[in-house]
Amino acid sequence: MAEDKTDNIEWLRSRGIEVETPDDRKKQENLLSSLKSLQVGDAETTSFSYVYIAADDSVPLQLETAVLPKSLNTGDQLPLLLKEKFSQGSVDETALRKTAEKHFVGNMTAAPELAKKLTPQAIAGQGGSVEVFKLGEEVNLYLDAVGALKQLPRNNRATAFASKCGFGEVPFFG
């Protein structure tokens, strides 16, 4: 049975589907813990900057710096680094239920079993969830994937930024 799960996960990953297992989350927690002590200029590290856009319009944009070991300097590492920041807050149970009902219309046979598993506590147990919204070549917005379910405030600056990039009024929360 465990071998079947591993084969299924590898099959999905080989087709570009992101799958995160409890073991993956534990490895990420350990990695993030080790990264906290790194500083700009440390041997065998690299750094990059990104802009934090708070939902509160009175908070100025903030230039943040991330430091990574050179061995991790492949691909987009921001989802991993931001995951902890997006773990704050809790999913509203009513909003979660309403969203699940919308998505399972026409497939109500699976809904009761999934509803038992899809709880605010289960989502919180996964740590933060980062969604990457591509605005252009090498320009992304990173948002709390369940920000709307957490009933976070609308981020008008991020929404305006996406609109100026041609995406209309895509609402971002948090």
pLDDT in tens, 77-96: 888 888 888 888 888 888 87
SS3 12: helix
pLDDT band at 111 (very low <50, low <70, confident <90, very high): low
- DSSP letters, 118-169, are --HHHHHTT---EEEEEEETTEEEEEETTTTTTTPPB-HHHHHHHIIIII-S
- Closest by alpha carbon to 159, among 147, 150, 168? 168
Asked whether the beta carbons of 66 and 84 are under 8 A apart, the reply is no
- At residue 49, the pLDDT reads 92
**pLDDT tens, residue by residue, 45-68:** 888 999 999 999 999 999 999 888
Phi/psi-derived region of residue 154, left when phi > 0, alpha when psi is between -120 and 50, beta in every other case: beta
- At residue 63, the pLDDT reads 96
Residue with tokens 């996960």: 9
For residue 46, give the H/E element and its range.
strand 45-52
- At residue 58, the pLDDT reads 96
Look up the pTM and report it: 0.71
The dihedral over CA atoms of 9, 14, 19, 24, expressed in degrees to the nearest 10, equals 80
pLDDT band at 133 (very low <50, low <70, confident <90, very high): very high
- At residue 65, the pLDDT reads 92
CA 101 to chain centre: 22
- At residue 3, the pLDDT reads 61
Average pLDDT over residues 91-116: 69
- Asked whether residue 4 carries a pLDDT value surpassing 60, the answer given is yes
Q: Distance between CA atoms of 105 and 97, rounded to whole angstroms?
A: 12
